[in-house]
Structure 1
């Protein structure tokens, strides 16, 4: 299905408006940049920004779909009220708002307190029975700040927002989600309590029963909720017609709020109202509200995940996409330049291209590969590759053991599947791990006493992980920080050549008759066959 994504966020020219004639704020409790449907017009929707609903309209007479957060050709998601039925439909991405259909008219309703709309009951219900967090997830979530949401039905369960959708995650047995540190933790640290609610309930949805029309004096115009003699029921009046409504189990109608609520919340809200009223008189309401608030044989795509974009050495307007371990050359449109960190083409003055080599001896990382780097000498750039799981260390200009580098950028693609989150274990710390989001790797740390377990992609007890990583402190100067050591051999007059040195931990680099001495990272030796430093146990027979 062809879809036109709702990106009116980029040029907001709408006006801030009420969602309908009621006082309900559509965006109350909804994260910024979440889109909410207009129940009265299929082509209209709202952008939530700082709790305000900003009106927008789909182009080309498209219809807005709250579930996909986009404008679409199909109007299948459009709300249509059947005049002969009493029913309700949850308002996507709000968790606590819904449209009540009565007498063919959609009426915006809101669950009181922290109750949520239960689509299985067509009524407000305890959050333990609904566990909705869709109001927390925006398709424009910031990759610099991963959004976590605790479950309201289980202490071991939580959600991670990925591409605007909440993805269900579960802590390993014995651990619970800590909403303060946003990680699985020991129960004593998590401080999680899920209130008990009745296990068995018998409740028919509004759509499953015939509307119980009542003979009360309903106002001829407007929408009103009127208290019933039974505390868990109330009358709904719409333009002169009335129907008897029933609250979900263990909830009672609050005539002041016009909503079903817990009994204790009805009393608490009344007390808070009195407190706020007094404070507003004494110190002004505003204060109260404020307090509430590739140049050689190196394959640059080896070891790189599919759909990861790599920069093109020597031309900022080009880039590669890695597919099946092979680089496919691409070019940016509109004279844009490629930015490896952002994985996109952008304005030339914004894009961060690969550096340009000078005459000095130096090197720099080939972005997003972890194992490739560019060796610079006499103004010439040569792509090099670390072997056997070693990674390029930008601080020392050398291939190094992964526990000193801990690079995982090659594993994260911009097109990650939000239903299959990519977790990557750290190679430097047993307690550390990464989550891929929007093409970037974000480091996280397990709670004290726990370690990351790759088998379950979760923080686990130490005895279940068997991790042993050590990284001693070292003092290795980069090539750019020390004078180059001239080669004491006759270098070939043409081309780039790597030649063995009498010291197995060193080697010569010759370029067009000039040469320097390079050193391996401590613990590595030079391999003449692979022309790179390697661990002693991996050296070829020729070395």
Structure 2
């Protein structure tokens, strides 16, 4: 039989432990937020039941109205689904019976070093250490649960957790109407929907993000994200024909560099390659899309800036073998033209009577 793991033996490790959290700390710690911070998660003009009460409500601000708080008349509870106060007997209050116990200090009358089960723990791993009449929440090590009788961390074979299958609601969803949307605190393209007091994570379509004020997915260029939420990295759509929506595959010239090219893999389940290989030819070579080869730059017709990526002072000009471009820091800063009967030769960096008919400058 596996021995119980007494907490007294690991007291020195308690302060390194943290309270168990879900994927969103903001939603889990919702009840400790200010009313303004709560509203920051919700769309404009959303009304909800203030945490740990049955008759206090909050109406979030919008672009025209300020935040408003109120309380129901005597004998009424706030109905979060209807957004109004009703007779208490006809309203199911998610905080009923908690008004006077939520802020109770369970360690007020306990001696230092006392261990108590954390009744808010979802899986019996949580416990409370009393120090100076204050509560310190912590968790048992992995695979262990807290036994309130022995006040120690034990294996699941030694104690049956009575709440193992208990459904724990998301704090942020308890006081809002069903189907209320909440912002994601890390990813702007994601959001939560409260269904039966549980937060379900959803994600916006590609190139869209969740607008915290309007409570819906909008174009990334128009979105207002939650303060701590980051926008997704722009999707690489090089391998997608944006006009037809058809996925592309094969070798393609880079639209910004004569020497670079992309390799798009075959689409997977109809989805285009979002991470195409981006390669570059050796110095002095350009990518030839027709022959799918890296070739001498003078044997490739490229309409981009031919001064890019080289240290030459002058280069041939596409479409006119008598003209030349003047380079500075990898960019064309001016053009010139050889005298009649002369042609510019990029190799010799001068005008010559011989027309080499380079493809680079051919019409």
Whether TM exceeds 0.5 here: the answer is no
Interval of TM-score (by shorter of Structure 1 and Structure 2)? under 0.3
In the superposition, the TM-score normalised over structure 2's length comes to 0.26
In the superposition, the TM-score normalised over structure 1's length comes to 0.18
Higher Rg: 2
